[in-house]
Amino acid sequence: MPVLALISAILVVTLEQYVEWKYGIAGIIGLLLLTVGIKAHSPGVSSAGALLLALLVTRPAL
């Protein structure tokens, strides 16, 4: 079980670093809103985070 927790922690940190490198502070805020909204069972907060991340991802296509 500790190995699974270690692997998941490494994946989370890697994802956060990638989002920060690729999308900057706005990406970290979007990821934070999405995570907090899911953990708090708040659809409004998680939707705002998902919307921010979606806008950041599709920005070059617009």
Tens digit of pLDDT for each residue in 28-49? 899 889 889 999 999 999 999 9
Mapping DSSP onto H, E and C, the string for 11-39 reads: HHHHHHHHHHHHHHHHHHHHHHHHHHHHH
Helix (H) / strand (E) containing 41: none
- Domain residue limits at 46: 24-55
User: Is position 41 within any domain?
Assistant: yes
**Residue-wise over 28-51: b if at least 16 C-beta within 10 A, else e?**
ebbbebbeebeeeeeeebbebbbe
Q: What is the pTM of this model?
A: 0.73
User: Is position 28 within any domain?
Assistant: yes
Q: Using 50, 70 and 90 to split pLDDT, how confident is the model at 61?
A: low
User: Is position 61 within any domain?
Assistant: no
Tokens read off for 12? 């989370």
